[in-house]
Amino acid sequence: MDAVCVDWESATMKVGDLVRHTGDGSVGMVIGYEPNQETLVDSMFPYHVHFIDEVVSDWFGSTCMEVISESR
């Protein structure tokens, strides 16, 4: 995954949303949201996403992801 996408002002996703990575098309679920982390760099990637096809999760900004299905 390429975690260089940055958008720290837009909170468009919620925990439970199904999302697609805009770079490679991987599908995952938002499993965490922490906008105020210890460092500025970490705060730039507030969404913790677990990818379904892989055994990996990572932190992203909202510009890296598009919502496929919103949680209720």
In this structure, what DSSP letter does residue 39 have? Answer: S
1's tokens = 């995954």
pLDDT per residue as tens digits for the range 16-53: 999 999 988 999 999 998 887 777 776 788 889 999 88
Q: How far apart are CA 45 and CA 34, in angstroms?
A: 8
Backbone φ and ψ for 46, nearest 5 degrees, come out as -85, -10
H or E element that contains 33: strand 27-33
- Enumerate domains of the chain plus CATH numbers: 18-69 (2.30.30)
Q: pTM of the predicted model, to two decimals?
A: 0.74
